Structure formats: structure tokens, C-alpha cells
Amino acid sequence: MGFQTLPRDDPKGDYPWWLVALGLIGAGIAVVIALNGLYTQVFTVVAKGVGITVLVTLVAFALATALGLAIALIGMSQNLLARQIARFYIEVIRGIPILVLLFYIAFVGAPAVVALYNWAAAPLTALGWGEPLQVRDVSLLWRAIIALTIGYSSFIAEIFRAGIQSVDKGQIEAAMSLGLNRTQRFRLIVFPQAIRVIFPPLSNDFISMVKDSSLVSVLGVADITQMGKVYAAGSFRFFETYSIVTYIYLLLTVGLSLVLRSFEKKMRERKAEKI
């Protein structure tokens, strides 16, 4: 007996019972947090890191998206050297774990950049214009954001490359025959079609960024995970603390996933209307 495949839009087959179950569990946990003084205290402390988590995620993902798009375009250029440089960057960065990259940027890359800056600015400093830059002047928060930006840009570059290459070449040739330059072809023809292919995996990377932002806690950045670590270390309430940390991350990731799915569905509906 085989398995019956249900249509994607079938109301019975696709009814999100999992979301109902998750919502009931989430509501139950919210009630416990509200009524239990200990859980209320833990939630209050850990929730202070939500702002940093959101900030790191939004800034790092925006920068990674811009850098990834640039790398993807360089990788598809007609210049052989540019293509090789882009491929070299992608393969090297993809091969380094995010945590290792975080440590490298924070404790190797940042001091190297500061040393290079001080060397270049030495003549001006000698004349009394400014002071040498110290490594501590580069905040750990920004070191973490830069590391996440570099780490994710290589994956996002591949997403953009696949999306752009999915556009039919005939349409690009037609745009060329109309006299559109490279920028106009990309803005008016290629990107509007490629975004439908790019958006789902890009959304997935955005949600992954929310989770991977927890790695910044190893640098002492006061995000959700770091606030939980500090509270658990002082109170020895590990079960309560990390249960709340997990709960908050699920609220962020599941809520974000639902919003992005809704947006993706609207994109599909608009495409169907045009067809």
C-alpha cells in the first residue's frame, strides 16, 4: 500500500496541527512564567539580551546579504581573475566553522587591522593629529557582527548565484536587444525573477542567523545566551534558566518562520495571478 500525496493547498492535509500544539505548549509555558516567581525572575533577566540578539542578527544579515550579492556578481563576471577570487573566497570561508571564524576575527583579525591602521596613520600621529588606535576601541559586539557577516556571506553568495542563473537566458538576450545596460537588465529583468528562487533559502539563512547569533556569547556579548549563562552560573538554576533561553529562541525563530512563510506565499500568489 503506497502513501497518498496530498495537494499542497489541501485544507485538511496542510492544516498546521503542529502549530496548534506548539501554540498550546507556548501558552502553557507563558502561564507558568507568569505565576512562578522563579521563572518570572529568570525570564526578566534573560529577556534583557533580546535586544542585542535582534541587533546582531539584523545588522549582520543585512551586511552579509549585501556582501554575498557583491561576491555572487563578481563570481559571474566576464573577468577570469575576478571569478577565481570570488570562488576562492567562497570555498575558504565556507570551510571555516562559524565559531572558529568568530575567534579568529575577534582575536587575530581585529588586532591586525588596528596594527595596520596605526602603521598607516603613524606620520599623522607623529604630528600630533590623533592618537594610536587601541584594540579595545573595537568593541566585541562589532567583532562578532563582522565575523557573522563574513561567515554567512559565502553561503548567501551561492544562493544569489543559483537564483540569478535560474533566469532564462533568452529573456536576458531580449533585454540586451532592447538596449538595456547591465545594471538595467539586472534590476528590471533578472532580479525580480530570481528573488522567487532566492527568497526561501535566504529566509532559512536568516532564521539560522538568529540561532548562530548565540555564538557571540563566547565573546561576552550580552545576548540572550550570555544573560542565561551569567544567571545560571550565579544561581545554579540551570534547568530553569536554559529552559527559558530555549523558549525565547523558539518564540523568535518560529514567529519569524511564520512571517517569512506568509510573505513567500504572497509572492507565489502574485506570480500565479500574473500567469
pLDDT tens digit sequence for 215-236: 999 999 999 999 999 999 999 9
Grid cell of 272 as nine digits? 500565479
Mean pLDDT score of the chain: 88
Give the mean model confidence (pLDDT) for residues 140-166. Answer: 93
Residue 236 has phi, psi (to 5 degrees) of 60, 20
CA end-to-end span of the chain = 37
| Confidence check: pLDDT of 172 > 90 | no
76-121 residue pLDDT tens: 888 999 999 999 999 999 999 999 999 999 999 999 998 998 888 8
Give the pLDDT band of residue 274 (cuts 50, 70, 90). low
Grid cell of 268 as nine digits? 507565489
Query: Which amino acid type is present at position 233?
Result: A
What letter does residue 128 receive in the DSSP assignment? T
Q: Are 54 and 141 in contact (CB under 8 A)?
A: no
Q: Which of 5-9, 48-52, 140-144, 252-256 has the lowest mean pLDDT?
A: 5-9
Give the pLDDT band of residue 156 (cuts 50, 70, 90). very high
226-273 residue pLDDT tens: 999 999 999 999 999 999 999 999 999 999 999 998 888 887 777 666
| Confidence check: pLDDT of 2 > 90 | no
Q: Are 68 and 157 in contact (CB under 8 A)?
A: yes
Percent of the chain at pLDDT > 70 equals: 93
Domain boundaries, the chain: 32-274
pLDDT at residue number 224: 95
Q: Quickly count: other Cβ atoms within 10 Å of residue 189's Cβ.
A: 19
Give the pLDDT band of residue 3 (cuts 50, 70, 90). very low
Give the mean model confidence (pLDDT) for residues 133-155. Answer: 92
In the CATH scheme, what is the code of domain 32-274? 1.10.3720.10
Q: Are 156 and 186 in contact (CB under 8 A)?
A: no
The DSSP line for 184-242 is HHIIIIIHHHHHHHHHHHHHHHHHHHHHHGGGGGGGT--SHHHHHHHHHHHH--HHHHH
pLDDT at residue number 154: 95
Residue 213 has phi, psi (to 5 degrees) of -65, -20
Q: Quickly count: other Cβ atoms within 10 Å of residue 183's Cβ.
A: 8
At 176, which helix (H) or strand (E)? Answer: helix 169-177
Q: How far from the centroid of its chain's Cα atoms is residue 145's Cα?
A: 10
| Confidence check: pLDDT of 8 > 60 | no
Q: How far is CA 266 from CA 10, 11, 74, 199, 275, in A?
A: 17, 17, 31, 12, 14
Q: Tell me the pTM.
A: 0.86
